[in-house]
Amino acid sequence: MTSAAYTYTPPGGLPQDASLPNHFLAYKTLQSLPEIWPLLAQRHGEVVAVDAPYEEPATRITYSELYQRIQRFAAGLQALGVAAGDRVALFADNSPRWLIADQGSMMAGAINVVRSGTAEAQELLYILRDSGATLLLIENLATLRKLQEGLAETGVETVVLLSAESPELEHFPPP
């Protein structure tokens, strides 16, 4: 069975810019994805943006809180020396922390290099070497341990652990 593409056109056709409500016009002017967060925080501040009841601990974040967390993450990356155009690797699976790290990286001006942390170590190490990433945002200690052997041969200078785990630093010497 084949499926046909379906396009909906409202009666009277699609509205022109002059007839669009103001909130649609505001979205139309955005140049990059991180620009949407202040707009959403302003318009929908107390609405829940992220609801992750199965996270440990369960997480509920409003648009205002999400925007603040993304801003703080971006500022933290900039304090670590991340500048516009730097490549930042994010090896993690979808979660509230992933969203904040992903959008915070973009807000800081970084180019994201994203892959699931469950990928094989050799694939992740190849991505690090090939991408030119100098900072690695990593989901948890298990993923960090998986990469430990080959991490020194990549261009990564800084590793940021997204989980609340505490690594034993003597096991992770600086590159």
Q: Which CATH architecture has domain 32-171?
A: 3-Layer(aba) Sandwich (3.40)
pLDDT higher than 60, residue 13: no
pLDDT higher than 60, residue 120: yes
Burial grade of 74 (CB within 10 A; 0-12, 13-18, 19 or more): buried
- Per domain, the residue ranges of the chain are 32-171
pLDDT band at 135 (very low <50, low <70, confident <90, very high): very high
Cβ-defined contacts of 143-150 (< 8 Å, 24+): 143/91, 143/92, 143/117, 143/118, 144/172, 146/121, 147/91, 147/121, 148/172, 149/121, 150/121, 150/122, 150/125
Residues facing 137 on adjacent strands: 90, 160
Q: pLDDT at position 173, please?
A: 53
Can you give the pTM of this predicted structure? 0.80
Q: What is the largest CA-CA distance in the chain?
A: 68
Q: pLDDT at position 12, please?
A: 56
Mean pLDDT of the chain: 85
Higher pLDDT, 24 or 64: 64
